[in-house]
Amino acid sequence: MTGNNGWYWHVHHDRIVEQLTAPVQERIDYIKKNKPKDEIETRLRLLKPVKDQNAVVAARKAYHEAVAAARKAYDEAMAPARKAYDEAAPARKAYDEAAPARKAYDEAVAVAWKAYDEAMAPARKAYDEAMAPARKAYDEAVAPARKAYDEAVKSAHAKECPECPWNGRTILEKQ
């Protein structure tokens, strides 16, 4: 297969499945030319098209829809914190307005950044505290979709790549 839109198993050693962005032959050529000799056979043997493209696409779509919904809720929840952060950060405005004075900046950068960080610390802390519930809600909203996607991919992989050394991180056993 030489297309550049399909899903493939093990395009890279540390990814179970990926959608091609270039013809697969380019990846094959790269592996043959650039990878260690003791990895080439394994990489080429396991680099193959996903047979059930629809299952991967459907799982990916469901995951992205859940992420989009969670991101929208996250953005809405974080809007007040962003506003509070911006209002509590006059040091940033002063820093930005000092752009013409960059000549001295190189000499004073360490001191300037220390002062900036100290001035911004309360705003960052307030922002982080305000954002914590939104981050937690986002993570909780995305988790079931991520789990469903991972399980769909794992199931398809088990059927289509039964002799695979994939360990959850890599196809290269030594890593």
Is residue 120 one of the residues assigned to a domain?
Answer: yes
Is residue 169 one of the residues assigned to a domain?
Answer: no
Average pLDDT, the chain: 85
Is residue 137 one of the residues assigned to a domain?
Answer: yes
* 49 φ, ψ (degrees, to nearest 5): -70, 145
pLDDT, tens digit (0-9, with 9 covering 90-100), for 35-54: 999 999 999 999 999 999 99
- Band (pLDDT 50/70/90 cuts) for residue 1 is very low
Question: For the residues 84-102, what does the mean pLDDT come to?
Answer: 68
Task: Output the 3-class SS for 55-77.
Answer: HHHHHHHHHHHHHHHHHHHHHHH
The more confidently predicted of residues 87 and 6 is: 6
* 19 φ, ψ (degrees, to nearest 5): -90, 130
CA distances from 16 to 3, 9, 78 (A): 19, 6, 33
Structure letter (DSSP) for residue 166: -
- Band (pLDDT 50/70/90 cuts) for residue 2 is very low
Question: What's the pLDDT at 46?
Answer: 96
One-letter amino acid at 155 equals S
Whether residue 93 is predicted with pLDDT greater than 80 in this model: the reply is no
- Band (pLDDT 50/70/90 cuts) for residue 105 is low
Q: Half-sphere exposure of residue 52, counting CA atoms within 13 Å on the CB side?
A: 15
Is residue 66 one of the residues assigned to a domain?
Answer: yes
**39 strand-pairing partners:** none
Percent of the chain with pLDDT over 90: 46
Is residue 84 one of the residues assigned to a domain?
Answer: yes
> What is the extent of the structural domain holding 91?
7-160
Whether residue 34 is predicted with pLDDT greater than 70 in this model: the reply is yes
Is residue 119 one of the residues assigned to a domain?
Answer: yes
Helix (H) or strand (E) holding 47: none
pLDDT, tens digit (0-9, with 9 covering 90-100), for 113-167: 787 788 888 888 888 888 888 888 889 988 998 899 999 999 999 999 998 999 9
Is residue 166 one of the residues assigned to a domain?
Answer: no
Judged by DSSP in three states, 18 sits in strand
- Ranking 11-25, 86-100, 117-131 by mean pLDDT, the lowest is 86-100
Is residue 146 one of the residues assigned to a domain?
Answer: yes
Count of domains for the chain: 1
**Among positive and negative, which fits the CA dihedral 69, 70, 74, 77?**
positive
